């Protein structure tokens, strides 16, 4: 259940957007396009990415700690711009934060609506694909659609190092996507927010044979509905200046800055932030 927005949450407060790393920038891009008046604080937990190889408790622990940190920064709503974190922890975190949350999930529903061949591929992290939330999503929406699930091992790591088009990356992607084409898939669900940045690389393999499903625009619309429900939209409209996006990273932020500049045209410095949590304190004390 969602708590009501706290008294301090005002329409001019920023929206918090969080991902394990750089992938949530694809959601930030859609939010900026759809809600240009909104201020944004973005957190990339790049120090601990990828989450797709972490255990469930680690992911819930990080998602809650970063959500609490964003609340302390004055965020009025939180977008968990990570399919993996949403799949594992959104209910747990929603029950503990005093602001409304919006999560993301692979676009199985639009795939079922659009596929003509009735075969669709879903590329997502292993954690997302094995989650009960994803299984329920497929059961709810797939109907007669054959869903081919493929873990995208190595893809998050590639985007995190700003590799979106190297020959090695294209070869890795081909290994994931070609079997889907061979099985007759005409639709590919990008079930991880890092993957829209691989759009051109995927297109170079599949050409026009597949429709790529990216849910970031739908997420921005859902955020708009949630803000309206809670009376959290500013009365004025107009594009926010680039200064109204605050970029934060738990790592050194070089790649976050580079990707935000290259793909979103946001030239903002990246703040390195410390967001300790139970599990990272354990990791650090083990390493000491
Ligand atoms: N962008 C995250 C997602 O949507 C990547 C998860 C990871 O770090 O493995 O799932």
| Shared domain check, 113 and 209 | yes
φ/ψ (deg, to 5) at 7: -60, -30
pLDDT (average), residues 262-273:
93
pLDDT at 4: 46
| Shared domain check, 204 and 244 | no
> For 226, left (φ over 0), alpha (ψ -120 to 50), or beta?
alpha
pLDDT at 243: 41
| Shared domain check, 120 and 67 | no
Cα(157) to centroid of ligand 1, in Å? Answer: 10
pLDDT at 3: 45
The answer to the question of residue 6 being in a domain is: no
Write out the residue range of the structural domain in which residue 205 sits: 108-214
pLDDT at 238: 54
Q: How far apart are CA 46 and CA 242, in angstroms?
A: 22
pLDDT at 263: 87
Mutate to test the pocket of ligand 1, among 18, 22, 23 (most ligand atoms within 8 A of CB): 23
Would you say the CB of residue 20 lies under 6 angstroms from ligand 1?
yes
The answer to the question of residue 7 being in a domain is: no
The answer to the question of residue 2 being in a domain is: no
| Shared domain check, 200 and 59 | no
| Shared domain check, 269 and 229 | yes
For the annotated catalytic residues, the residue numbers are 82, 192
Q: How far apart are CA 270 and CA 255, in angstroms?
A: 10
Torsion angle of alpha carbons 221, 222, 224, 230, nearest 10°? 170
Domain boundary among 157, 190, 214: 214
Q: How many domains does the structure of the chain reveal?
A: 2
pLDDT at 132: 96
Confidence of residue 285 (pLDDT cuts 50, 70, 90): confident
| Shared domain check, 197 and 235 | no
| Shared domain check, 210 and 115 | yes
Q: Are 15 and 240 in contact (CB under 8 A)?
A: no
The answer to the question of residue 9 being in a domain is: no
Would you say the CB of residue 82 lies under 6 angstroms from ligand 1?
yes
| Shared domain check, 241 and 170 | no
Cα(231) to centroid of ligand 1, in Å? Answer: 30
The answer to the question of residue 46 being in a domain is: yes
Atom 8 (ligand 1) nearest CA: 50
Q: Are 93 and 69 in contact (CB under 8 A)?
A: no
Q: How far apart are CA 78 and CA 223, in angstroms?
A: 9
DSSP 168-233: HHHHHHHHHHHHHHHTT--EEEE-STTGGGGHHHHHHHHTTSSEEE--HHHHHHHHHHHHHHTT-S
* Residue range 161-204, pLDDT digits in tens: 999 999 999 999 999 999 999 999 999 999 999 999 999 999 99
Confidence of residue 8 (pLDDT cuts 50, 70, 90): low
pTM of the model as a whole: 0.93
pLDDT at 246: 96
Position in ligand 1 atom list of the atom nearest CA 124:
10
Cα(195) to centroid of ligand 1, in Å? Answer: 9
Whether 2 has a pLDDT exceeding 50, the answer reads no
pLDDT at 237: 54
H/E run at residue 261: helix 254-264
| Shared domain check, 93 and 25 | yes
* Residue range 121-171, pLDDT digits in tens: 999 999 999 999 999 999 999 999 999 999 999 999 999 999 999 999 999
HSE-up (13 A, CA, CB side) for residue 86 = 26
The answer to the question of residue 142 being in a domain is: yes
| Shared domain check, 172 and 29 | no
Which CATH number does the domain housing residue 163 bear?
3.40.50.1860
The answer to the question of residue 274 being in a domain is: yes
The answer to the question of residue 10 being in a domain is: no
| Shared domain check, 85 and 153 | no
Domain boundary among 191, 214, 237: 214
Cα(284) to centroid of ligand 1, in Å? Answer: 22
| Shared domain check, 113 and 92 | no
* Residue range 91-110, pLDDT digits in tens: 999 999 999 999 999 999 99
* Residue range 16-59, pLDDT digits in tens: 999 999 999 999 999 999 999 899 999 999 999 999 889 999 99
Domain boundary among 214, 240, 272: 214
Would you say the CB of residue 52 lies under 6 angstroms from ligand 1?
yes
Confidence of residue 239 (pLDDT cuts 50, 70, 90): low
HSE-up (13 A, CA, CB side) for residue 269 = 3
Radius of gyration of the chain (CA): 18
């Amino acid at each position: 259940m969602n708590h009501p927005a706290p008294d301090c949450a005002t329409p001019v407060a920023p929206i918090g957007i969080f991902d394990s790393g750089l992938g949530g920038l694809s959601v930030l891009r859609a939010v900026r396009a759809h809600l240009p008046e909104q201020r944004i604080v973005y957190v990339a937990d790049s120090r601990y990415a990828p989450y797709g190889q972490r255990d469930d408790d680690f992911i819930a622990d990080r998602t809650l700690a970063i959500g609490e940190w964003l609340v302390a920064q004055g965020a009025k709503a939180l977008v968990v711009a990570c399919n993996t974190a949403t799949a594992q922890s959104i209910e747990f975190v929603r029950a503990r934060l005093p602001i409304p949350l919006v999560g993301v999930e692979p676009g199985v529903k639009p795939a079922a609506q659009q596929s003509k061949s009735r075969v669709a591929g879903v590329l997502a992290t292993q954690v997302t694909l094995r989650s009960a939330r994803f299984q329920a999503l497929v059961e709810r929406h797939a109907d007669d659609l054959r869903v081919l699930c493929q873990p995208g091992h190595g893809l998050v790591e590639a985007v995190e190092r700003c590799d979106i088009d190297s020959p090695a990356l294209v070869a890795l992607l081909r290994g994931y996507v070609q079997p889907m084409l061979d099985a007759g898939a005409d639709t590919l669900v990008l079930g991880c927010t890092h993957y829209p940045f691989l759009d051109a690389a995927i297109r170079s393999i599949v050409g026009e044979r597949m429709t790529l499903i990216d849910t970031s625009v739908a997420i921005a619309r859902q955020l708009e509905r949630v803000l309206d429900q809670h009376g959290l939209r500013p009365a004025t409209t107009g594009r926010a200046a680039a200064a109204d996006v605050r970029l934060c990273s738990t790592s050194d932020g070089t790649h976050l800055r580079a990707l935000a500049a290259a793909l979103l045209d946001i030239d903002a410095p990246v703040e390195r932030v410390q967001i300790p949590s139970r599990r990272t304190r354990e990791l650090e004390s083990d390493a000491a």
